[in-house]
Structure 1
Amino acid sequence: MRRRPRHLARLLCWSFAEAAPSFVSGQAIAHALDDGFGSGRPLVGLGWLMILAAAWLTAALGARQVLLAIAGIVEPFRDTLLRQVVEGTLHRTATSGMRPDTGAVARLNRQVELARDSFGAVIAVVRSFLFSIMGVVFGVLTLMGAVLPLVVLPLLAGLSLFLMSLPAMARLQRRLILAEERTASSVAAMVDGLRDVAACGAEERVAAGVQQDVEFQARTSQALARLTAVRTLSLAVGGWLPILMVLAATPALVRDGATAGIILGTLTYVAQSLTPALGSLVQGVGVNGVRLVVALERIVTTSARPPATSTGSADMPRGMLLRLRGVTFAYGPDADPVVSDLDLAVRDGDHLAVVGPSGIGKSTVAALIAGILRPDGGRILIGGVPVDAIDRAAMCRARVLIPQEAYVFRGTLGENLTYMAEGRSQADIDKAVDAVGMTELAARLGGCAAEVDPSELSAGERQLIALTRAYLSPARLVLLDEATCHLDPAAEARAEEAFAARDGTLIVIAHRLTSALRARRVLVMDGARAQVGTHEEMVAASPLYRDLMGRWEAPVTAEA
């Protein structure tokens, strides 16, 4: 609010106009009765009622301007929160290596809007309460000072009772927001894995877990609703008890000189201004104020950018050693491991092919090395540093994974080729295009300045663009996960040979076994066992590899 002094000044000025009836109402009623109708001068009484009507018209105009001033403060506040949630969530996911934050959906869709609405409501009710109470206090003082304690003391008691209940409300509201996030996360996980849930026959178990989260959220909502009884009691003490006390003290007040107009004017102040203002405060702060504090706490805590993890170097070092030690991974707590106790060492500059039957876990190994998946057991080290401890920005500069379905975005061909390697010269691009075997495709598309529509490209053409992009990147570790499966054998051989000649380490998830023949070493995955060695060593040591290569023996001999 301090950043927007113009809106704040406008809000305060129009608040005086909106609060005009708070001061005028009791005075107008008292004078209309005592000086007008009660004294046989109806025109005077009507005049005072006209003054009251004018005050209400002024309040209506002020209320409209107040809402505009509040909007000028609240909407930028919402934009700030939204930007913080998006930036913090993306930065945390990109740099910390964590799984996607599904709770961010609840913060975007629910908590930011909740904070915005609550902030606006708190400004409105607190401002209205303060100005209304000021009008009531000054009005009662001008009527008869002796009445003021009968109004103020119950009000202070009701406010104290309400303020004492706020900590419990905050705790329950915080628990409710966390329950909403947990429900959103469990439902999202259930929907994402629905096919696997049905395939495994785990519908009842998964449904029971989601139902437990839903029921916890419902119980918390009910507990918060029960606490509203305290708000009702606070309103009764602070808003309605003053009326009873004034009525009970009327005989004594009359003996001290109070007129019927003074008594009726005081009751008007309480009933028309104080009680509604207190009710709005109790409702606004008791609900919206607590929601605002808890939502902001949750947004700020979960959207804060995590400190960058130091690895001793901004990038993975040259001469790095990729090492897997006892790595185990399964897709689910009750599923059989896809990778079990895998040990592997890959030196900088090595060329490794990973072979095995379909579904044996070759792509899983690539995803584990790339840091997309986290192992259930064991460690993955790059340059002696665990993969999950490496700054994600440095990781992205040091390794690149090309999956089977290559990604090409709308834009120029040059933008597609260099977005992982900004600043590359045209000579570097031309060299990469020629090395990977994309020259003919680049010419057909119209060169680097040509616009690319991914829907008009074949799967093989998209793979060539992605391969050239990876070739131009600064990454020293390249993972090709069947990234050439849509290319013909000659194009595949040219692309792999280009990466093998490129400075760095190449790991190929083999689509064709000719990739194993081109590699320096071969990792054979055979269920729970994995063996690594040269082609000749694997032919001698692995029955599975001999069986797989036997199907290619004739084509290989023919090529030889």
Structure 2
Amino acid sequence: MSGTPGASAAGLPVASAREVRRHARRLALRERRSVAAAVGLHALAAASGLAGPWLLGRLVEDVTAGVDDVTRITLLISLFVVAQAVLSALAMFVSARLGEKVLAQLREEFVHGVLALPLGAVEEAGAGDLITRTTRDVDLLARAVRYAIPETLISVVTIVLTLGGLVLLGPLLALPALVGVPILWAVTRWYLRRARAAYLRENASYSQLAEGLAETVDGARTVEAFRLGSRRSARMDRDIVTSYAAERATLRLRTVYLPTIDVAFVLPVVATLVVGGLLHLDGVVSLAAVTAATLYTQQLLAPVDTLLFWLNELQIGGAAMARLRGVRRDPAYPEGEWAAPATDTVNEEMIEVRGVSHAYRPGHDVLHDVSLTIAPGERLAVVGPSGAGKSTLGKLLAGVHTPRAGTITVGGVPVSSLPLDRLRTEVALVTQEHHVFRGTLRDNVVLARPSASDASVEAALRAVDAWDWASTLGLSAAVGSGGAELSPAQAQQLALARLVLADPHTLVLDEATSLLDPRAARHLERSLAAVLAGRTVIAIAHRLHTAHDADRIAVMEDGRIVELGTHDELVAAGGSYAALWRSWHGGG
């Protein structure tokens, strides 16, 4: 088997800021009625809040003028306070409902995107990146949608209406409220230019940290057997240092940004009191106007503070959304999605491999100029020593990876251009790695074809010699986490039963029976051969009886096909295969 590719340092793609904004607009337009209702209710609540300061200004002026009866103004102030509370509660309810609906849509889109990811992209990126996106990034986006967006919306509406109220009181009284704007504009511009990249680096560092942890946990026995604990610990230390530095960078941005805006908040209130007082002394404005303007300016501080605080959370949420949207984008098509032209059709025709080379790392090819033609319905065995490139060839044939050079076509259509949902029904890959999902035994088998009947499930299990233990367990038995534990050999049979139900026209079996004992494996392969008659089968084999039963055998060494022919032809040729056969048969 060829070596496993390393995770790409870059991880999975990240959507551009432009694409994130465009998608946010699409979501807003999709829910335009709910957005309009939320904005309208917040506007009414903010407008109700404007009445209080104005009425308080009138109250101060009346008291100054010697008016004793203030009952009417007091009742009006109370009425508007109650109205603002009711409208605010209703607006928050509508906003929260809208937020949960949008969040559900984003989660569904993310799940669809993850399921549509090419396996090669996931392998190259590493599990840590995907795990971090499905956990931490989803949580960060949920916080932004649930809290940051509604709070920002409320703040913007309140600020606009409050400034409008100040202008109506008197343009001269509105000017002092803007004294802090230059400072806020400058520091916010400085922050926004740096925040997105900093938060993306922080999230990427968490992905790298999770990747290291996952590798260490998954390979715990190997780590212990080869005494790699110190090396893995050093790797974790480096990842922690990187993550710590990335988090310090975002913290540094906040420690500059947030205190600066706090200082800028004091200036408008002071300026309004001073300027308003001077204007009142000159008889330009009334005491009521100065009082209302000061209260309006004071009232501006809370929404501005909220806006700038949640602006930071929006940057975090925007970075998370860029990573979540990134799983739906093809690096080769920066503004597209994981998709390909839907016009291609595949007939059950030959598979052609022409001049294929492939590398997991630049400059280190593991396949070299491989060419091969596989006829429809042919059974081809691929044999060779470990590291010869057999598994890599199998993954390329199944479309898991795209060759660095050369082409692979099925019925004249390049495998790389097939839509993923079509590819997975045309060419199926079964390896030694299997997963038993939490659910019933039947649920696990029908993953390939959910509409399959119990009779079809039983036939598939019989075809892979699994019916004896499966019937004893029962199709409704719970398996996977928390259920009945299946042995590795039983999990392998389960994966092959899925394959029988999927019924693709081309199968790539990468040592798919390696976990069974030789006698059971041979019986299973013969049963499969009867069920899969007429299908094209490429079997990557380490047991040579698989090669003996094949129509043709391809022998690989050092990433090249060095021999190709039938069993008898290759034995008679006295080459690499003949040596393998003599060694294996003599030992058997």
Distance verdict in 2 for CA 1:155–1:542, change over 3 Å: farther
Kindly state the Cα deviation for residue 474 of structure 1 after the two structures are TM-superposed. 2.7
Separation in 2, partners of 1:515, 1:480: 11
Do the aligned residues in 2 keep the contact of 1:16 with 1:131 (CA within 8 Å)? yes
Q: Where do 1:96-107 residues align within 5 Å? A: 99-100=121-122, 102=130, 104-105=133-134, 107=137
Q: Paired residue for 1:180, among 199, 202, 206? A: 202
Do the aligned residues in 2 keep the contact of 1:7 with 1:69 (CA within 8 Å)? yes
Separation in 2, partners of 1:341, 1:192: 35
- 486-495 or 11-20, larger mean C-alpha shift: 11-20
Q: Where do 1:147-296 residues align within 5 Å? A: 148-155=170-177, 159=181, 169-193=191-215, 215=245, 218-219=248-249, 222-223=252-253, 226=256, 231=261, 235=265, 238-253=268-283, 262-263=286-287, 265-271=288-294, 273-289=295-311, 292=314, 295=317
Q: Where do 1:233-382 residues align within 5 Å? A: 235=265, 238-253=268-283, 262-263=286-287, 265-271=288-294, 273-289=295-311, 292=314, 295=317, 299=321, 302=326, 306=337, 308-310=339-341, 312-314=343-345, 316-323=346-353, 325-330=355-360, 338-358=366-386, 360-375=388-403, 379-382=407-410
Distance verdict in 2 for CA 1:167–1:378, change over 3 Å: farther
Secondary structure at 1:483 match in 2:
coil
Kindly state the Cα deviation for residue 532 of structure 1 after the two structures are TM-superposed. 3.4
Separation in 2, partners of 1:412, 1:218: 47
Secondary structure at 2:358 match in 1:
strand
Equivalent position of 1:453 in the other structure:
479
Extract unaligned runs of 5+ from structure 1.
Answer: 37-43, 142-147
Structure 1 residue identity aligned to 2:304: V
Extract unaligned runs of 5+ from structure 2.
Answer: 1-30, 123-128, 330-336
Kindly state the Cα deviation for residue 309 of structure 1 after the two structures are TM-superposed. 0.7
Q: Please state if 1:23 is matched with 2:54.
A: yes
Structure 1 residue identity aligned to 2:543: R
Secondary structure at 2:116 match in 1:
helix
Please give the per-residue CA displacement for 1:438-464, whole angstroms capped at 9, x wherever unaligned. 443454345xx5435353433333333
Please give the per-residue CA displacement for 1:53-83, whole angstroms capped at 9, x wherever unaligned. 9836963784475145224213432441443
Distance verdict in 2 for CA 1:186–1:396, change over 3 Å: same
Q: Please state if 1:526 is matched with 2:548.
A: no
Do the aligned residues in 2 keep the contact of 1:125 with 1:281 (CA within 8 Å)? yes
Separation in 2, partners of 1:544, 1:133: 85
Do the aligned residues in 2 keep the contact of 1:23 with 1:136 (CA within 8 Å)? no
Secondary structure at 2:508 match in 1:
strand
TM-score (norm 1): 0.77
Q: Paired residue for 1:463, among 492, 501, 504? A: 492
Distance verdict in 2 for CA 1:126–1:408, change over 3 Å: closer
Structure 1 residue identity aligned to 2:158: S
Separation in 2, partners of 1:389, 1:214: 41
Distance verdict in 2 for CA 1:445–1:250, change over 3 Å: closer
Separation in 2, partners of 1:57, 1:199: 69
Do the aligned residues in 2 keep the contact of 1:353 with 1:523 (CA within 8 Å)? yes
Secondary structure at 1:366 match in 2:
helix
Kindly state the Cα deviation for residue 475 of structure 1 after the two structures are TM-superposed. 0.7
Equivalent position of 1:506 in the other structure:
537
Separation in 2, partners of 1:379, 1:199: 42
Separation in 1, partners of 2:440, 2:161: 61
Separation in 2, partners of 1:353, 1:324: 18
Kindly state the Cα deviation for residue 150 of structure 1 after the two structures are TM-superposed. 3.1
Kindly state the Cα deviation for residue 184 of structure 1 after the two structures are TM-superposed. 3.4
Coordinate RMSD, CA, aligned: 4.3
Separation in 2, partners of 1:367, 1:199: 32
Separation in 1, partners of 2:91, 2:541: 64
Separation in 1, partners of 2:234, 2:458: 57
Secondary structure at 1:35 match in 2:
coil
Equivalent position of 1:39 in the other structure:
none
Separation in 2, partners of 1:230, 1:453: 57
Distance verdict in 2 for CA 1:451–1:202, change over 3 Å: closer
Do the aligned residues in 1 keep the contact of 2:571 with 2:577 (CA within 8 Å)? yes
Secondary structure at 1:421 match in 2:
coil
Do the aligned residues in 2 keep the contact of 1:347 with 1:505 (CA within 8 Å)? yes
Distance verdict in 2 for CA 1:324–1:52, change over 3 Å: farther
Separation in 2, partners of 1:149, 1:13: 23
Secondary structure at 2:513 match in 1:
coil
- 182-191 or 285-294, larger mean C-alpha shift: 285-294
Secondary structure at 1:150 match in 2:
helix
Equivalent position of 1:41 in the other structure:
none
Secondary structure at 2:66 match in 1:
helix
Distance verdict in 2 for CA 1:375–1:298, change over 3 Å: same
Separation in 1, partners of 2:371, 2:243: 39
Percent identity (aligned): 25
Distance verdict in 2 for CA 1:542–1:409, change over 3 Å: farther
Q: Please state if 1:393 is matched with 2:421.
A: yes
Structure 1 residue identity aligned to 2:585: E
Q: Please state if 1:553 is matched with 2:585.
A: yes
Secondary structure at 2:373 match in 1:
strand
Distance verdict in 2 for CA 1:487–1:84, change over 3 Å: same
Secondary structure at 2:59 match in 1:
helix
Provide the aligned length of Structure 1 versus Structure 2.
Answer: 526
Kindly state the Cα deviation for residue 401 of structure 1 after the two structures are TM-superposed. 1.9
Please give the per-residue CA displacement for 1:68-110, whole angstroms capped at 9, x wherever unaligned. 5224213432441443254246336516566246373454122
Kindly state the Cα deviation for residue 290 of structure 1 after the two structures are TM-superposed. 7.2
Distance verdict in 2 for CA 1:217–1:341, change over 3 Å: farther
Do the aligned residues in 1 keep the contact of 2:357 with 2:404 (CA within 8 Å)? yes
Separation in 1, partners of 2:278, 2:56: 22
TM-score (norm 2): 0.73
Do the aligned residues in 1 keep the contact of 2:353 with 2:370 (CA within 8 Å)? no
Structure 2 residue identity aligned to 1:503: G
Please give the per-residue CA displacement for 1:314-364, whole angstroms capped at 9, x wherever unaligned. 5x321131426332334x569x65545544433322212233344555434
Do the aligned residues in 2 keep the contact of 1:22 with 1:135 (CA within 8 Å)? no
Q: Please state if 1:420 is matched with 2:448.
A: yes
Secondary structure at 2:33 match in 1:
coil
Q: RCO (CA 8 Å, sep 6+): is it higher in 1 or 2?
A: 2
Equivalent position of 1:40 in the other structure:
none
Separation in 1, partners of 2:561, 2:110: 40
Distance verdict in 2 for CA 1:81–1:180, change over 3 Å: farther
Kindly state the Cα deviation for residue 397 of structure 1 after the two structures are TM-superposed. 0.3
Distance verdict in 2 for CA 1:158–1:461, change over 3 Å: closer
Kindly state the Cα deviation for residue 544 of structure 1 after the two structures are TM-superposed. 5.0
Q: Please state if 1:493 is matched with 2:543.
A: no
Distance verdict in 2 for CA 1:164–1:199, change over 3 Å: closer
Separation in 2, partners of 1:432, 1:296: 47
Do the aligned residues in 2 keep the contact of 1:481 with 1:508 (CA within 8 Å)? yes
Do the aligned residues in 2 keep the contact of 1:418 with 1:469 (CA within 8 Å)? yes
Structure 1 residue identity aligned to 2:298: P
- 283-292 or 24-33, larger mean C-alpha shift: 283-292
